Amino acid sequence: AQKVTQAQTEISVVEKEDVTLDCVYETRDTTYYLFWYKQPPSGELVFLIRRNSFDEQNEISGRYSWNFQKSTSSFNFTITASQVVDSAVYFCALSGWNAGNMLTFGGGTRLMVKP
Amino acid sequence: GAVVSQHPSRVICKSGTSVKIECRSLDFQATTMFWYRQFPKQSLMLMATSNEGSKATYEQGVEKDKFLINHASLTLSTLTVTSAHPEDSSFYICSASGGQGPGETQYFGPGTRLLVL
């Protein structure tokens, strides 16, 4: 069985603050893939990142960075110098080797960035 | 790249009518397409998985005769909500993947908001 937990249901920050969205996962597969998606108010899910279980290097893309730690089964997402346009619901998702390309989603974290 | 369109974006219909939603991969061939349903302030709930040319696989609790899925080509899948009722009102989102293998990225359409009166 696979499970993704995003303990933070809502986060509110003021523009320019840094914010970290937590994601903890469970899987019995030794090979698996982790994803983050952004869902702005318009509704469309925007793909942000895909990471496989053998690559624990942290990744940075502009103001976005991801910290993958297998030891704690976490794949946290940090937004540096947040902007109002970052306001959205963010979903962490897991695809285990034996699940094909099916995704297990976390409950999502609603981020509100206030000006 | 990896653009998925969905049509219509919004539909209002009377109870008892059927509604068809189209999902298209615009710049890649989608071996697999997925249909999800999302209630307000909740996560996505997978309804079914469809592979081109074969019957869709439905998740437990999803009525296959209620939600008809057709994946006739590598770029098009359709979801038909038959005899829609108010409880079918929801946000329906499709996604497409270029492969069936583990870890293939799913790219999502913009979603369709269905309101059944």
Give the confidence band of B1 by pLDDT, cuts at 50, 70, 90: low
Helix (H) / strand (E) containing A34:
strand A32-39
Instruction: Kindly state the DSSP code that residue B66 receives in the 8-state scheme.
Output: T
In the three-class reduction of DSSP (H, G, I as helix; E, B as strand; rest coil), residue B115 is classed as strand
Q: Please choose, from the candidates A37, A21, A6, the residue with its C-alpha nearest in 3D space to the C-alpha of residue B36.
A: A37
Which helix or strand (DSSP H or E) is residue B56 part of? Answer: none
Chain B residue with minimum CA distance to A46: B108
Over residues A43-90, the pLDDT tens digits come to 999 999 999 999 888 899 999 999 999 999 999 999 999 999 999 999
Task: Check if B105 contacts A (Cβ < 8 Å).
Answer: yes
The percent helix, strand, coil of chain A (3-state, each to 5) is 10, 55, 40
User: Does B95 sit within 8 Å of A101, measured CB to CB?
Assistant: no
Q: What is the mean pLDDT of residues A6-23?
A: 98
Chain B interface mutation, best of A33, A45, A92, A110, highest count of B Cβ atoms under 10 Å: A45
Between the CA of residue A83 and those of A17, B12, B68, what are the distances in Å?
A: 8, 34, 41
- Per-residue confidence at A101, pLDDT binned at 50, 70, 90? confident
